[in-house]
Amino acid sequence: MKKRMLAFAALLLMGLLHACEKPQQKFETEFIDLFDTVSQVVGYAADYKEFSKFTKKLHEALLEYHKLYDIYNSYEEVNNLKTINDSAGKSPVKVDKRIVELIIFSKKIHSQTNGLVNIALGPVLKIWHDFRTLAAENPKEAAVPEIALLKQANEYTNIEDVLVDEAASTVFLRYEGMALDVGAIAKGYALERVCEAFEHAGYKSILINLGGNVRAIGAGQNDKPFRVGIKNPLGGKFLNIIAVRDRSLVSSGGYERYYMFNGRRYHHIIDPNTLCPSDYFEAVSVLCRDSALADALSTAIFIMDYESGLALINSLEGVEALWVLHSGEIKYSKGFKAFIVN
């Protein structure tokens, strides 16, 4: 069984679950069966029945995306990403439009980040995943994959060989040996789509943490922004408390999914240029309206040097970020500090 991650960000202050004049009570719950991580939902409702009804709908919606974007497991009557990977080099796979839309979005992100976020990097990521799993099960067997093995796998990571027929709703991986891995995008993308649907249905004042992907629908109690804590990857208290209203905060770091070998930490965020874990930062956080974009950008700027990452963030409207250096120093984009609660 894959190790479950603890959430990067903590949910601190919540508000009204739904517009209602009845006295509101605070309720919370968590899910442990979505996207290989722990998810938290906290909010206010007139009673537990109302809150439970909402969280049931939320879980059902996210579970659908979980099954569609799963690369490890098959499900009855569902063609998912595992189905696509298993059919690589053989035949196109007819899929739900939510898979097609994810891949189209991912191709745009690939272009926007100059290839640093690449859902076709699956063959390389699988090698690192297998080595990480082996080390977790038996630390004495920990090792680092040979660069020749990684380079061989990298021959099958061209995103242009991921063929999408939007009209037919099919996806085809041109060559056997290719594999999709949407770990850098899937949680944020699924969360954003689900939250959009609940917003349109009239829900508000909800804060959801899907394994470090935090998304606020509206504001908190008494129309005050939610407060979200950013975990310090070096230990101790929160780095910052952030005021969030109708925004997403996504953090990426190399301190949760990793293994040690010869005194060095090998985490799961792989630089497609070196085919090895990126080593610029301890962690990064991205704050913007769209959780899908925030998720992708948090991976991208973790892999970039600070100057390149800052330039990317500054080129995007309504996007802010922070970087935690190995020394513990924190760097911010120009507008990030405006969201910090004193």
Residue 47 neighbours by CB distance under 10 Å: 13
Residue type, 169: S
What's the CATH code, domain 9-47+190-339? 3.10.520.10
| Strand blocks (E) in the chain | 9-13, 25-34, 37-45, 93-94, 162-165, 170-173, 206-210, 213-217, 226-230, 240-244, 248-253, 258-261, 264-267, 270-271, 276-277, 283-288, 320-324, 330-332
pLDDT in tens, 134-184: 999 999 999 999 999 999 999 999 999 999 999 999 999 999 999 999 999
Q: What is the pLDDT of residue 219?
A: 82
Q: Which of 195-199, 233-237, 248-252 has the highest mean pLDDT?
A: 248-252
Give the integer Cα–Cα distance in Å for 246 and 283: 23
* pTM value > 0.95: no
Contacts within 8 Å (CB) and 24+ apart, 142-147: 142/259, 142/260, 142/261, 143/261, 144/261, 144/266, 147/275
Domain boundaries, the chain: 9-47+190-339
The answer on pLDDT for 261 being more than 80 is: yes
- How distant, in Å, are the alpha carbons of 214, 337, 339 from that of 342? 20, 10, 9
In this prediction, residue 64 carries a pLDDT of 97
Question: For residue 218, what pLDDT is reported?
Answer: 86
Note the Cα 207 to chain centre separation in Å: 16
**Tokens for 174?**
């041109």
Tokens of residue 40, six digits: 């938290």
Residues contacting residue 7 through CB under 8 Å, at least 6 positions apart:
37, 38, 39, 40, 209, 211, 212
More confident residue, 8 or 48: 48
Q: What is the DSSP letter of 328?
A: S
Tell me which amino acid residue 173 is: L
Packing angle of the helix pair 97-112, 48-69 (nearest 10 deg): 70
